[in-house]
Structures are given as structure tokens and as C-alpha cells.
């Protein structure tokens, strides 16, 4: 018996005519020739039994797969190869065939176009003697002069061709396109196009309204329809089965490796056979096809198809993703590739929360205000509608209970209002009583038509109409407009305004609109009642609002986010008895998400907010996927005989108004069936996802029954509901992983009967590695071992990133896929947290790095996260190499990452919460939903997952580093009542009347500790040498950082109770005590204890000089800071360097203020000072701003110039006048810092007379520091005088002593061996301050370094130039990485501290910098 492809000689001959052509032999090949037919033996190999040796080549190549991916088959493995080419079997002949044409193939496409109109295109393929026919029908359209702007297309060509056969009245457009008018019939328009040229395979086109020059596009591009290929009978052309299998594989690969059903698989196999039969009919031999496949080619017929060819190119050009076992192999990438930085408006500050400059009101808006005043503000409704480029105002008022409706527009052509009144039901049409109709009205059956008049509120450029409805009990007014022969409707329906007054809600105090796009939010609230009609209305309204937000910026986009989030969480009504087709909802979603993808593409600074918006919205459907929601449920009911009860109720709900609830209902049914029809499982799935029994009863088409399904329906329902779930998710769940993957990779769904099919094309241009990665992710998405899954998810996101940053035409679907991958990381972490309990530090650090990477991929301005990621990569290597410092280093990176999360949470709180509260109040959202809005947004992202991981890793690291749950900064045993506060800054000027233990969520480092506080306990990490730490130690107040969130939470739970705290160096114990035991507790002053004696200052006087050199520094002229630095000159080893210094002495400020040029300033300061003394502390800021108005007397300028130049320091004025102004402003800021809040309250606490406080200014040349340090020559934590303690930061020292979060590098050194410093902690500071060569002006008051009162750090030091704040990269810093460099530098710092202490003979607090290896001391003072 012969194998497939070998023709048996005894087979009958078949004659197959092909349109009066036959095959003739030419140049060794048979081709079509005119006027004949061909005799060809037919092959029956499909029914012929084959030998076992040939069965492999004859069997079908199965494409069946559990996902859209098939096995990576080698399609030629069953064939024999000789000398690099296919071997033919003996007796193989070359079949040639003529074919018969069957019935003409047809296809129908439908599109929705702007204004609610629809386009239906029916295409009939060519038949012998007849051209291809394209019939276009536009319906639900008000366009009066519709034109088709078109050109024909050829396979593989992008150029438009202008066919010679054209419909009547077609005109040539610039020799580039044709324009053909439609035939109008009511609200429909028709046109037929014939394509007689066989080379033309379709048309591309746009629609145009000729009289208004309005264009209609297909989602921003051209419409395109292709002529279906003729359905030809190739049954008499035999193709070997192995070649059919290969061609089927090529088609599957070309189409994006879709997930085919068995039915689709069979259809694809048949199409593959037809491809090859068509080739053979055109004269290609079987042997030539076999040789082409062996060489890696593809079907000639398909290879020129430009729409499909990209898939093959992608898969061939990209390397396959390598795997090691069951894990993907991640590519080595530079984390800096993830960096994105955009200029952003910081929220939550007075300077930036002020509203943007108001735009000029439009004439309509001004007219509305005038007419509101006419009716004494009795406004029921004020609403603006867009009419193309114009607007319509509807103003409803009820002065004295009499309802009036005013309409006005800025359209220039005459406008008529076609209107009615509603009395019983919303939107019903009733003709108004004749007494109500304005003049020139025409009463019609059920309605009225009234022309608008020229003029509105005195503006003749507008036209308007007033209708006095009175008090007849009408509830609303439906209407449409007519202008220039065109009807204007509301998204294809009637406009409608309510005439009923709505009770206005009072705004919450917190939701007053500060820090929001207030006017925009009020516009959202104004449109909410219309949005509640259906999800279609909401999404269509959202399109208009999002277009406006695109222009207004970030806060307006936040308004869209909050609004849609409230909708998604069911805080807003989804539908009010409005019947809407699923495809209409799908189309509205698609419009919205198309607009959002454009904002994402064009406004990179707003991408994070746009991602959040898109996570609340379904993607909408392509093709007929929306309509399938409606049709497919009928097919499910019919196929599975379940037409009554709950299934019928659900069917009715789906037909009336589908919503995201349907995804939950479908899942509940699947869980119910798969659990053996357990009803408890059904209700659990529903309730867990917020779809309660009450909610289901509230639908316009309520679902009140429980499912009553039979066991014989089980398999069919599971199959069909799973398929239906994909349809539901394609519309409603854009960020669902399986749906997002399928849409990006492409899939098809067969039609059945009346139900149309769906064909989603694969996305072009994706990484060749992505399909395998996505397959891996889907295969492992439920694994308990989550690390391989996380690696796959992150590798897929990295491969997708280039497409996210491109201007891709399918960007929306790429964003949804990225959102789905991002969300899967979070769910994987939450699911796998239990299994991570036994993971070692290296594994935990690796997982943390993955989640940090994930968060960086999803975040704007992610520089801090990127540097954290670089640090984690270093940590992983340190742990694996068992470095002795790995635990301390890991703790620092962990702390830095926590601070980055804290920053992100604060950013979200400042950005989102004001809008959530203001808009929520306007919309009547429940208080609890408003209050937790931002918290829930954070919880739903990967930041929450990262926080969980850090909490899991932290105790492991602290144990390895031999650190307890606490770091004690000031070890004072005390007792008091626990008071929980958000920030220490909030209570720094408060006075507690009993000993108080403050548990503060934030401590920034510069705050004052309030009177009555005996302890401050915080999860925050101020430096041990920060101002607040120094003050705690000086005041004998317990101060400690808690690293264990559970310990801190237990402490918070004791709020209001008396507690005793007992600290040690690395731990702190607490226990409850009776409140009666609190008397005599140590710590800060309480109101019950005896007041401390006041500190008296000697008020300094002006000594007749505005500027003095360092040689003249003395107690009458400058403070201790200047005198101490002068005292060091010439007394230290030469390797310790000092900056050059001069000063503006005491009394200079008072002298300048007394000058006549500043008399107005002096008067204002005197007035403000009296108000401050009377208790109005808000005026402190006003004083500082007033000081900046002072003018410099010429004598000061001249003396300062002479003194600086005499000390070999640069004079700013020599550069430019502007440079001197910078210096003068810095001097005034130092003087003004006398009125800093923290300084004022601190001096007030110790009863210093603020009027006696005098301020000298120490002027020094800035050292452009690589590092800065602070030394305490007695360890402040242990009070060990034999041990030096020091802290080091990158850049200038302000990050160490100021309010910059994170810890510095800290170390100790024994004075007996300063060459052997011991690291206590590595840095977690996020930023360093750097500056160009400049001058700094330092505060030097007579109220610092006093006995019993340090006063250090209360007043400002101001550089002439602004510091450059840079995120610190420790992964490349020699201080962290180079142990030899680090030890040398730290030893030098310790030796300098020891030398200065020996010089003064007492413990010192020293500040200095390192520049190019050289050490500079900039100031020293006695250690307090």
C-alpha cells in the first residue's frame, strides 16, 4: 500500500473546470491556461490504510493545549533528510489540479462610531464573472451628508489604490483617495462598493460629514475590511498529512500561539490543508513545498500576508527563554534601566496646595452667575453640556417655589429646542401645557418645539430660552436640540434634567477641597446622577471628564481615579432601571481606555495615576466580544438545558445591564458546580467578593433564586462557564492575568448560530521571550513555592517594559497585561508568606529584591526604589559570601527600604486623601469608605506586600546582628501615662499636666520634646546625634526606637494607662503601674513640678563694626561657635584643617533694623512681636518674612567686603550684583531664625527673655564635602568616657543634624586605640546634600552652649547657594564597599576627636567634613 502523497494508478479521473481555465505544462510546471480542463487522479489517502512506518508522517499534528501555547514541536521530525534536503519516496509524483469554486464567501463587520451611530459592513467575495461587493450601512446617525473617504488595498501593501470601477458621484481627492456620498434614508445611510480587480483584497476608509467637515475614525485610525477568499473546492487535490500538520503549526505560530478549542483546532487544520491545496492549484509542486518547509519557509499564500507575518518574525528572531529546572533564567540587567524621574507637584504643603490661577470664565459661565443672582441663588441644577466645539447651559431655579428652566448656548447658527416634561417617571415625554410654552413654540404630539432667542444675561453673542414651569409637580425635562439640520443628542439618547430640588449635603471639615482640583470634582458630582443611569453612561461621561483632566493635570486625574474607584467598590450606583446592551458598555469602556492609554503615552509624569485608574476599569471588547456576553448566556442555557430559575434571572440581568458583578456570579457558579453543588460554596464566593444576597435582589432585573442544577449538566456547564468567564473578563477585568495574556497573545472564539465569533489578533512587536515567560507564569500561578513564579513574573514585566514606553497601537492591552503581572506579584507574596517562614536570609533578601523591583516598575519618580534595589543585590552577594558585616549592612538596607515605603504612603496620603474626602462628601459616600480610601489603595498594591516581607525579614536580621527590638538613644528609667500621637511635631509646643510617655509615629530629628513628656518611643529612626536625641539626653528623657511592629502595637494598646519603662543599651522593658505611683517621675518639666529658674542673657550691643576677622572674635562680639573655631587655630596637628572665618558681630541686626531705610520693617516687626507675646504664634512666620524685607546699609556692604577680602575669602559682589543679593538674603535668614518655632518654644520653656537673644553670623567658606561627620568624645548612649562615638554621612552635614530621615553610618573607637574603629550601624540615609564652591552663614547666638541649656541647632545656618539634594547610591560608595578605605577614614575622624578633646580638656561635640581625603573641623562645642 502506498503512503500519503503517492498517487495510486488505478484511481478514477476527475475533471475540474476553473472559470474556463485549465492547467497546461510550461517550463516543467503546470499552470492555468485558458479554455480547457485537466484530468487528475484523485487521492484517497485519508481513507487508505498506511503502513506503520508511514503513520507518523500521515497523522495530524495536534495543536491542542491547555493554554494558548502549544508544545514546541519540531514539525519535520518524522521526515527523512538526505544531504540536507527532503528525500522523496520512490514513485512519488507531482500532483497538479484544477479546482471548482463553491458558493461565494461572505463576512460581516460592525463598528460603533461617535455620537452613538453604528456602521455595518457586509463583504461578499468575488465569484466567476462577478466582482467582490462591499455593502455599507450607517444607522442611528443624524449626519445629513455622509461621505466615504476610501481607497482599495492589495495584500502586503500599505498604499491605497484607486479602482477604475467606482460608485456613482464618486470624486477624486487629490489623487490619493476617493470620496463617495452615502444615500440617506431617515437615520440610516447606504452605500455599495464593487471591486472588480482580483488583485484588490479590501478597502480602507474613513467617514466624513461633508457639511460640517467632521471625520469619524476607528479608534483614531482607519477602518479596514478585507474581501473573504473564495470558498473553493479543493477536495480533489491531495496533500500529504505531514505537510498539513506542518502548515497548521506554521499558522498557529503565526497567529500568536493561541489557545485553540478542539473545534478551532480542526478548523485550523482544514485551513492549513486549503492553503497548500491553493498553492498546488497555482502550480507549486508537493516536492517544492516539502523543500521549502525543510528550509524553514512558510506557505507562499500566507507568507505575503502583512497582517500575520509579524508573529513569525518575532518568534524566529528572539532567543528562547532559557530555564534551569522549573525556574526561568533571569537576564542580567542594570537596575538603573528602571529609573524614571519627572518633575512633580508635591502635595500637602501650603506652597503647592494653593489652587492654580483661575482660567477666564466663559460668557456662558458669567451669564449663569448673573441669572443665579436674579433668582437669589435658588439653584436646583446648573449643568453644562458639550455640543462639539460649543456648549449648552441648563440652569434650573425655583425662587419662591416656582420652577424656571433657562437654556443658553454659544452656538452661532439658530437653535431649536425639542422638549417635553416628565411628571410620573423620569425621562417620559409629555407635551407641556400651553400656558407653560414660550412664544413661537409649536406644540406637537407629546412634545413641543421652541426656537432660542438672541441674547442671554446681556450678552448678544449667546442665544437662550426661558421656560417657567411653575409648581405643577413636574419632575424633569427631556429634550434634544436641532441646529443647521443636525440633531444633537446625549450619547445617542435624549438629554434629561431633573426639576426636583436636591437636598445639599454639608461638607465635612476635612473635605473642604484644599489640595484638590475642586472645581473639577464639583463637575464630577454634577454629572453623577446621569452616570448612575448605567455603566455605559458612566464610562461615556468619564471619557469627557478624562479629556478635561488630561488638560488640567494630576489632581484632576486623581479625581477620575477616586470617582471610578468609588464606583468599582460599589459605593456608587451602577444602574437605574436602564436597559443597555453589553456591547454598548464594552464600546464605552473601550473609548475610555483608549483615551487613558493616550494620556499614559503622552504624559509620562502621570503614568502611575493612569495605571491606578485603569485598574478600576475593564478593558472593553474588540469586535463582537461585548455582544457575546448577551448571546453566549443563551447558548449556555440552550446547550445545557438550564433555562429557568436562577440561570434565567441571571440571563435577564445580563441582557439588561451587565457589570463586573457578573464575573463574580460566574465564578460562584463554577465553584458551586465543582464542589459537588454545595450551596454554601456558592454563597461564600459571592459574599467574599461583595456580591451579597441583598445586592443581587437590588438589580433592575433581580436575582432572587439559588441555582438548581443537575449532576448530568456538570461537565457541559463547567466547559461553557469557563469559556464564558473569558468573555466576561475580556470586558470587565482588564487586569485579570489569564484574560490579559490571552488578549495580548491573541485568541479566537467560534460563533454559534446567532452568536458572532471573536478574533483577537496577537500584539505585534512583543519580545520573543515573552510567550514562553507568560506560559511559565500561567503554569505556575497557583504554586505554593512562589519564588520561581515571582522570577517569571518579574522577568515578564522587564521584557514588556520597552513596549510600555513605546507609542504602540495596542498600548492599552500592554498596560492591562502589566497591571495583571503586577497584581499577581502581590497575590503570590500573600499566598506564599506562610511557606517563607523557613526561608534563610539569602532567600528572603532575594524575594525582597524581586518585590522592590516590582514596585519600582510600577512607580513614577522611583529613584529611591532603584537605589534600594541596587543595595539588595549587594546584600544578596554579602549573605552568600558570609561576609562578617552582612547582618548590619542588611539591617541598614532594610531600614532604607522601609523609609521608601513610608515616603510612598505619605505621597499617596497627600495626593489622594483630600480628593477622596471632598469628592466622597459631594457624592454622599459613607464616611468609613472615605476615611480608609488611601489605606485601601496602598493595601491593594505591591507596597503592602513589600512591607509584609520586610516585617518577616527584620527579626531574622536583628537576631543575626545581635540587636534587640529596641535601640535606646537616651537610656533613662521613668514612668508615665501612655499617649499615642502621629508625629512629635504635632505636640512639641504642648504642655502635659502629668508625666507622659509619648508613642510617636514620626520623629524627624529637629523637634522639641514637649513639657511633661518623660519618654518618647517611636518606630522612626532619628540619628543618635540629631537635635532631638541630644535634647532628650540633656533633659533626662527616655528616647528609643522600636524595630518590632508587634511590640509597638502592644504599647499603643496601653494608651491612657500608666506604664514604667526600663531601658538598657539594646532593649527596653515596660510594665503597667498604678497611676498613683507617677509622682516624682523624671523627665521634662510638668505643670505640677517646681518651675526651673530662668536663664538670664546679657543683651549684646553693637560695637561699631559690621564685620570682623577671626582674630577679633571675643565674647562681646560673637558667640561660642565663632570663638571655639578661632581657639583651635594653630593648636591642632597639621592634618586637621580649619575653614577661614569672619563674622557679623552681635548688634549688627539691631543696628541695620534701626536704619531709616528699614523703619517700616522695624515698625512691622514691633507690631508682630506684640501679637506673638499675646499668644498668636502663627505670627512667628510673618516676622521671618518681614526680616527678609530689610535693606543693607552701604556701610555694612563695604565693611563685609573689606573683611572678606582681607581674610582671603571671596567677595560675592565681585561676581555680580545678584550674587551679593543672594548673600544678603542668606544673612537675613540667619537673623530671622531667631523667630523659628522650635527656637522660640525652647527659649520660652527655660524662661529666656526672647528680647535679650542676640544673633552674630559666622561666615565661612564652604568645603565641598565628600562626607560629613559629628563626633561626641564621650559615648552618649553609654556615657562611657573612654569611648568616642561618631556618625558619618555622604555630602554636607545638614542631613545628619537636620530633619532627614534614615540613619548615618555610626561607629565607636576606644581612645586607647582610635586606629581600630568598630562599626555600630551602616547608613540608611536616602539623600546627601552637595553644593558648589560657596559661602555659608552660620547662626551664632548668645543663647547657645549655656550651662544647663545647650540650645544647639535651634537656629539656622544658611549657605549662599542652594544645596543639591541627591539620592545616595551606597552600592558604589567606597565608604561601604572598601573596608581599608573605611577603616582609615574612621580612624582619622576618631583621632581628630581625641586631639580636640585633649586640647579643651573636656568632652566635645565636633562637626567636620572630609574632602579628597583631607579632614576639616568646622565647629566644636562642649558636649552636653
Among all residues, which ones are annotated catalytic? 1027
Cα–Cα distance measured from residue 1256 to residue 1144, given in angstroms and rounded to the nearest whole number: 6
Cα–Cα distance measured from residue 47 to residue 56, given in angstroms and rounded to the nearest whole number: 16
User: DSSP for 1172-1218?
Assistant: HHTT-TTHHHHHHHHHTT----HHHHHHHHHHHHHTT---GGGT-HH
User: Please, which residues have CB within 8 angstroms of residue 139's CB and are 6 or more apart in sequence?
Assistant: 117, 118, 120, 187, 188, 189
Question: Do residues 904 and 943 lie in contact, with contact meaning Cβ atoms separated by under 8 Å?
Answer: yes
**Assigned C-alpha cell, 548:** 478635561
Residue with cell 443658553: 408
A 10 A CB-CB count for 678 gives 13
Angle, alpha carbons 1239-1359-1340 (nearest 5°): 40
Dihedral sign for Cα 1084, 1088, 1089, 1092, please: positive
The widest CA-to-CA distance across the chain, in whole angstroms, is 129
Say how far residue 961 (Cα) sits from the centre of its chain.
37
Question: Do residues 1274 and 1403 lie in contact, with contact meaning Cβ atoms separated by under 8 Å?
Answer: yes
CA atoms within 13 A on the CB side of 737: 22
Taking only Cα atoms into account, the Rg of the chain, rounded to an integer number of angstroms, comes to: 40
Dihedral angle at the C-alpha atoms of 544, 546, 551, 557, nearest 10 degrees? 150
Contacts by 809-813, CB closer than 8 A, 24 or more apart:
809/221, 810/744, 810/763, 810/764, 811/597, 811/600, 811/601, 812/593, 812/594, 812/596, 812/597, 812/614, 812/619, 813/619, 813/740, 813/743, 813/744, 813/763
Cβ burial of 29 (10 Å; 0-12, 13-18, 19+) is middle
Cα–Cα distance measured from residue 240 to residue 237, given in angstroms and rounded to the nearest whole number: 10
What are φ and ψ of residue 1084, in 5° steps? -70, 165
Determine what percent of the chain falls in helix, strand and coil, rounding each to the nearest 5.
40, 20, 40
Cβ burial of 1393 (10 Å; 0-12, 13-18, 19+) is buried
User: DSSP for 363-391?
Assistant: HHHHHHHHHHHHTTT-EEEEEEEEETTEE
**Assigned C-alpha cell, 998:** 509619648
Element (H, E) at 1255: strand 1255-1261
Cα–Cα distance measured from residue 1211 to residue 1107, given in angstroms and rounded to the nearest whole number: 13
Q: Is 5 helix (H, G, I), strand (E, B) or coil?
A: coil
User: Please, which residues have CB within 8 angstroms of residue 80's CB and are 6 or more apart in sequence?
Assistant: 86, 87
Say how far residue 1146 (Cα) sits from the centre of its chain.
54
Side by side, which strands form the sheet with 453-456?
Answer: 379-387, 390-397, 403-409, 459-470, 453-456
User: Please, which residues have CB within 8 angstroms of residue 52's CB and are 6 or more apart in sequence?
Assistant: none
Cβ burial of 1177 (10 Å; 0-12, 13-18, 19+) is middle
Amino acid at each position: 500500500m502506498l503512503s500519503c502523497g503517492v498517487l495510486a494508478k488505478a484511481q478514477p479521473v476527475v475533471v475540474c473546470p476553473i472559470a474556463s481555465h485549465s492547467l497546461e505544462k510550461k517550463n516543467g510546471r503546470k499552470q492555468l491556461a485558458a479554455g480547457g480542463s485537466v484530468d487528475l487522479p484523485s487521492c484517497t489517502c485519508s481513507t487508505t490504510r498506511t503502513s506503520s512506518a508511514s503513520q507518523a508522517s500521515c497523522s495530524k499534528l495536534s495543536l491542542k493545549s491547555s493554554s494558548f501555547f502549544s508544545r514546541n514541536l519540531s514539525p519535520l521530525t518524522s521526515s527523512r533528510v538526505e544531504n540536507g534536503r527532503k528525500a522523496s519516496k520512490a514513485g512519488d509524483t507531482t500532483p497538479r489540479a484544477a479546482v471548482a469554486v463553491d458558493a461565494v464567501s461572505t463576512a460581516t463587520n460592525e463598528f460603533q462610531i461617535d455620537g452613538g451611530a453604528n456602521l455595518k459592513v457586509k463583504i461578499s467575495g468575488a465569484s466567476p464573472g462577478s466582482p467582490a461587493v462591499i455593502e455599507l450601512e450607517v444607522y442611528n446617525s443624524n449626519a445629513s451628508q455622509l461621505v466615504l473617504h476610501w481607497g482599495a488595498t492589495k495584500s502586503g501593501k500599505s498604499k491605497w489604490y484607486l479602482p477604475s470601477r467606482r460608485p456613482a458621484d464618486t470624486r477624486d481627492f487629490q489623487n490619493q483617495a476617493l470620496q463617495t456620498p452615502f444615500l440617506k434614508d431617515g437615520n440610516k445611510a447606504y452605500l455599495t462598493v464593487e471591486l472588480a480587480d482580483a488583485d484588490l483584497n479590501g478597502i480602507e476608509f474613513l467617514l466624513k460629514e461633508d457639511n460640517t467637515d467632521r471625520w469619524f475614525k476607528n479608534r483614531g485610525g482607519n477602518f479596514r475590511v478585507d474581501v473573504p477568499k473564495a470558498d473553493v473546492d479543493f477536495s480533489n487535490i491531495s496533500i500529504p498529512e505531514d505537510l498539513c500538520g506542518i502548515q497548521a503549526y506554521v499558522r498557529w505560530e503565526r497567529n500568536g500561539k493561541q489557545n485553540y478549542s478542539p473545534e478551532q483546532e480542526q478548523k485550523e487544520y482544514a485551513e492549513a490543508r486549503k492553503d497548500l491545496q491553493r498553492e498546488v492549484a497555482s502550480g507549486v509542486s508537493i516536492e517544492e513545498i516539502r523543500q521549502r518547509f525543510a528550509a524553514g519557509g512558510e506557505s507562499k499564500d500566507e507568507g505575503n500576508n502583512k497582517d500575520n507575518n509579524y508573529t513569525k518574525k518575532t518568534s524566529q528572531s528572539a532567543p528562547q527563554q532559557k530555564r534551569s529546572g522549573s525556574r526561568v533564567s533571569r537576564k542580567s540587567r542594570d537596575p538603573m534601566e528602571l529609573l524614571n524621574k519627572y518633575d512633580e507637584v508635591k502635595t500637602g504643603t501650603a506652597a503647592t496646595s494653593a489652587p492654580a490661577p483661575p482660567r477666564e470664565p466663559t460668557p456662558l459661565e458669567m451669564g449663569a452667575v448673573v441669572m443665579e443672582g436674579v433668582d437669589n441663588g435658588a439653584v436646583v441644577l446648573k449643568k453644562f453640556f458639550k455640543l462639539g466645539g460649543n456648549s449648552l447651559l441648563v440652569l434650573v431655579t425655583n425662587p419662591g417655589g416656582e420652577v424656571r428652566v433657562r437654556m443658553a448656548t454659544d452656538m452661532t447658527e439658530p437653535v431649536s429646542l425639542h422638549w417635553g416634561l416628565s411628571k410620573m417617571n423620569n425621562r417620559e415625554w409629555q407635551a407641556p401645557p400651553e400656558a407653560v410654552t414660550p412664544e413661537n413654540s409649536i406644540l406637537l404630539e407629546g412634545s413641543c418645539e421652541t426656537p432660542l432667542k438672541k441674547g442671554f444675561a446681556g450678552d448678544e453673542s449667546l442665544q437662550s430660552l426661558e421656560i417657567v414651569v411653575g409648581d405643577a409637580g413636574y419632575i424633569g425635562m427631556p429634550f434634544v436640540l436641532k441646529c443647521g439640520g443636525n440633531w444633537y443628542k446625549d450619547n445617542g439618547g435624549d438629554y434629561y434634567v431633573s426639576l426636583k430640588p436636591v437636598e445639599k449635603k454639608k461638607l465635612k471639615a476635612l473635605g473642604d477641597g484644599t489640595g484638590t482640583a475642586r472645581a473639577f470634582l464639583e463637575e464630577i458630582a454634577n454629572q453623577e446622577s446621569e452616570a448612575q443611569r448605567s455603566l455605559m453612561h458612566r464610562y461615556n461621561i468619564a471619557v469627557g471628564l478624562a479629556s478635561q483632566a488630561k488638560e488640567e493635570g494630576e489632581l484632576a486625574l486623581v479625581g477620575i481615579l477616586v470617582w471610578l474607584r468609588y464606583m468599582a467598590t460599589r459605593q456608587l450606583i451602577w444602574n437605574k432601571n436602564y436597559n443597555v446592551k453589553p456591547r454598548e458598555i464594552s464600546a464605552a469602556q473601550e473609548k475610555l481606555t483608549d483615551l487613558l492609554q493616550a494620556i499614559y503615552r503622552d504624559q509620562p509624569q502621570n503614568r502611575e495615576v493612569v495605571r491606578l485608574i485603569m485598574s478600576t476599569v475593564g478593558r472593553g471588547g474588540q469586535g463582537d466580544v461585548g455582544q457575546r456576553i448577551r448571546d453566549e448566556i443563551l447558548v449556555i442555557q440552550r446547550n445545557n438545558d438550564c433555562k429557568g430559575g436562577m440561570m434565567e434571572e441571571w440571563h435577564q440581568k445580563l441582557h439588561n445591564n451587565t457589570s463586573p458583578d457578573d464575573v463574580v456570579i460566574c465564578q460562584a457558579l463554577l465553584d458551586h458546580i465543582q464542589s459537588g453543588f454545595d450551596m454554601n460554596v456558592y454563597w461564600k464566593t459571592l459574599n467574599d467578593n461583595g456580591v451579597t444576597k441583598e445586592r443581587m435582589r437590588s438589580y433592575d432585573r433581580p436575582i432572587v433564586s439559588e441555582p438548581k442544577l443537575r449532576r448530568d449538566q456538570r461537565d457541559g456547564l463547567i466547559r461553557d462557564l469557563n469559556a464564558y468567564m473569558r468573555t466576561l473578563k475580556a470586558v470587565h477585568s482588564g487586569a485579570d492575568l489569564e484574560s490579559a495574556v490571552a488578549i495580548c497573545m491573541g485568541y479566537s472564539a467560534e460563533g454559534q448560530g446567532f452568536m458572532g465569533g471573536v478574533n483577537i489578533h496577537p500584539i505585534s512587536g512583543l519580545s520573543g521571550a515573552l510567550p514562553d515567560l507568560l506560559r511559565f507564569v500561567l503554569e505556575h500561578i497557583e504554586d505554593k513555592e512562589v519564588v520561581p513564579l515571582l522570577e517569571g513574573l518579574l522577568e515578564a514585566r522587564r521584557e514588556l517594559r520597552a513596549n510600555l514606553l513605546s507609542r504602540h497601537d495596542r498600548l492599552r492591552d500592554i498596560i492591562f497585561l502589566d497591571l495583571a503581572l503586577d497584581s499577581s506579584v502581590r497575590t503570590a507574596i500573600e499566598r506564599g508568606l506562610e511557606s517563607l517562614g523557613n526561608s534563610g536570609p539569602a532567600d528572603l533578601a532575594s524575594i525582597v529584591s524581586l518585590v522592590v523591583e516590582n514596585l519600582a516598575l510600577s512607580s513614577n519618580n522611583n529613584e529611591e526604589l532603584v537605589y534600594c534595589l541596587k543595595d539588595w543585590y549587594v546584600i544578596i552577594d554579602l549573605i552568600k559570601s558570609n561576609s562578617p558585616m552582612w547582618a548590619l549592612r542588611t539591617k541598614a538596607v532594610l531600614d532604607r527600604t522601609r523609609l521608601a515605603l513610608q515616603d510612598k504612603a505619605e505621597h499617596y496620603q497627600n495626593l489622594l486623601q483630600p480628593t477622596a474626602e471632598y469628592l466622597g462628601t459631594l457624592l454622599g459616600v459613607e464616611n468609613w469608605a472615605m476615611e480608609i480610601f488611601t489605606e485601601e489603595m496602598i493595601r491593594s498594591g505591591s507596597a503592602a506586600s513589600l512591607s509584609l516581607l520586610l516585617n518577616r525579614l527584620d527579626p531574622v536580621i536583628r537576631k543575626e546582628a545581635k540587636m534587640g527590638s529596641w535601640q535606646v538613644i537616651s537610656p533613662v528609667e521613668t514612668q508615665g501615662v501612655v499617649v499615642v500621637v502621629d508625629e512629635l511635631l504635632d505636640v512639641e509646643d504642648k504642655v502635659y499636666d502629668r508625666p507622659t510617655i509619648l508613642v510617636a509615629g514620626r520623629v524627624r530629628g529637629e523637634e522639641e520634646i514637649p513639657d511633661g513628656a518623660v519618654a518618647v518611643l517611636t518606630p522612626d529612626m532619628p540619628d543618635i546625634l540629631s537635635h532631638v536625641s541630644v535634647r532628650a539626653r540633656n533633659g533626662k528623657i527616655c528616647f528609643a526606637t522600636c524595630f518590632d511592629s508587634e511590640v509597638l502595637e502592644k504599647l499603643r494598646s496601653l494608651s491612657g494607662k500608666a506604664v514604667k519603662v526600663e531601658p538598657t543599651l539594646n532593649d527596653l522593658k515596660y510594665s503597667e503601674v498604678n497611676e498613683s505611683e507617677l509622682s516624682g517621675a523624671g523627665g521634662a518639666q510638668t505643670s505640677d513640678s517646681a518651675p526651673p529658674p530662668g536663664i538670664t542673657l546679657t543683651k549684646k550691643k553693637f560695637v561699631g563694626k559690621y564685620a570682623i576677622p577671626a582674630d577679633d572674635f571675643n565674647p562681646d562680639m560673637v558667640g561660642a561657635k565663632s570663638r571655639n573655631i578661632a581657639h583651635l587655630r594653630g593648636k591642632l596637628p597639621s592634618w586637621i584643617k580649619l575653614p577661614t572665618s569672619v563674622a557679623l558681630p552681635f548688634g549688627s541686626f539691631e543696628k541695620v533694623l534701626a536704619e531709616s531705610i528699614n523703619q517700616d520693617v522695624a515698625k512691622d516687626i514691633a507690631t508682630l512681636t506684640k501679637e506673638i507675646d499675646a499668644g498668636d504664634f502663627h505670627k512667628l512666620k510673618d516676622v521671618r518674612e518681614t526680616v527678609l524685607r530689610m535693606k543693607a546699609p552701604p556701610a555694612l556692604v563695604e565693611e563685609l567686603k573689606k573683611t572678606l577680602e582681607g581674610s582671603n575669602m571671596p567677595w560675592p559682589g565681585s561676581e555680580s550684583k545678584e550674587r551679593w543679593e543672594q548673600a544678603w538674603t542668606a544673612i537675613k535668614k540667619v537673623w530671622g531664625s531667631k523667630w523659628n518655632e522650635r527656637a522660640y518654644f525652647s527659649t520660652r520653656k527655660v524662661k529666656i527673655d526672647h528680647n535679650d537673644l542676640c544673633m552674630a553670623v559666622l561666615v565661612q567658606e564652604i568645603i565641598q564635602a565628600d562626607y560629613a561627620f559629628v563626633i561626641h568624645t564621650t559615648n552618649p548612649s553609654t556615657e562611657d568616657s573612654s569611648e568616642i562615638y561618631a556618625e558619618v554621612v555622604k555630602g554636607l552635614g545638614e542631613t545628619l543634624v537636620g530633619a532627614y530621615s534614615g540613619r548615618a553610618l555610626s561607629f565607636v573607637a576606644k581612645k586607647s586605640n582610635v586606629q581600630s574603629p568598630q562599626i555600630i550601624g551602616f547608613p540608611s540615609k536616602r539623600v546627601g546634600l552637595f553644593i558648589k564652591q560657596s559661602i555659608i552663614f552660620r547662626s551664632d547666638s548668645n543663647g547657645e552652649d549655656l550651662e544647663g541649656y545647650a540650645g544647639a541647632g535651634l537656629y539656622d545656618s544658611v549657605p549662599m547657594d542652594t544645596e543639591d539634594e541627591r539620592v545616595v547610591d551606597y552600592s558604589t560608595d567606597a565608604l561601604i564597599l572598601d573596608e581599608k578605605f573605611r577603616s582609615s577614614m574612621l580612624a582619622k575622624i576618631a583621632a581628630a576627636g581625641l586631639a580636640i578633646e585633649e586640647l579643651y580638656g573636656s568632652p566635645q561635640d565636633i562637626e567636620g567634613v572630609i574632602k579628597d581625603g583631607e579632614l576639616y573641623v568646622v565647629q566644636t562645642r562642649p558636649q552636653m
